[in-house]
Structures are given as structure tokens and as C-alpha cells.
Amino acid sequence: MKPIRNGVLALVLLCAGHAFASQEAEDLKRQIESQRAAATDLERLDDRHLVTDEITLLKSWLDEAWQQYSKEEYKKVREVVDRCIAQAELIRQKITAAKMTAYANDREAAVRATHAKIDKTKKALLDAQSTKKALEMTSK
């Protein structure tokens, strides 16, 4: 009876291991596909084309992950996918930084324009005051 139990246990463990590997493979496949979609979204977000090289690198890593997936080298796929996730986050941060820099530059330009308008108004006010004084002096 013991050999049958050991055989059944071995079969159960083998099936469980295969199911786990199959689930991991599906998870990795889903992650690669979602990272490809994210890369496309990042391209759309990069309207100033400031991180084109980083996006190209991300896409090449995703191709590498797919090749490793095709070879069923899941450990290597996991490493590449993790690298892709970090790269996508770096790209998001660079895009955000570029947009915030552009926003700050626009605000700074608006402040400079406002200061110029204030200076012009002050000069006009001083000119008007001196003209008023001159008119008051001539009318006396």
C-alpha cells in the first residue's frame, strides 16, 4: 500500500508543480502584454518627444522578454519584466518632470510679463503726476 501512496503523492505534487508553472507563465504573459500597452500609452504621453530613447529601450526589453517567454525561460522573463516595470516608472517620472518644468517656465514667463506691465504702469503714473504738477504750476 505504501508504494501506491507514494506514487499518488508524487503525481499530486507533479500536477501541482505543473499548474503553478502554468499559472506563472500566464501571469508573465499578461505582464508582458500589459507592459506593451503601457509603452504605447507612454508614447502618447510623451508629446514633446523627450524620452523617445527610453521608450525604445523599453520596447526592446519587452521583445527580449517575449523571446525568453517563447523559450519557456520564466526566471529570465521575470528579470526582464521587472526591469521593464522600473523603466516604465522612470519614463513616467521623466515625462512628469518635463511637463512640470514646462509649466514652471510658463508661469515664470507670466510673472516676468506682469512685472514688466507693473513697471510700465508705474512709469506712466509718474509721468502723469509730473504732468499734473507742471499744469498746476502754470495755472497759478
Question: What are the pLDDT digits (tens) for 26-60?
Answer: 999 999 999 999 999 999 999 999 999 999 999 99
Total number of domains constituting the chain: 1
Does this model's pTM top 0.75? My answer is: no
Determine the length of the chain. Answer: 140
Query: What pLDDT, on a 0 to 100 scale, did the predictor assign at position 1?
Result: 47
Distance separating alpha carbons of residues 92 and 72, to the nearest angstrom: 30
Residue 78 placed within a domain: yes
Q: What domain range includes position 107?
A: 25-139
Residue 15 placed within a domain: no
Distance separating alpha carbons of residues 131 and 65, to the nearest angstrom: 78
Q: What is the DSSP letter of 74?
A: H
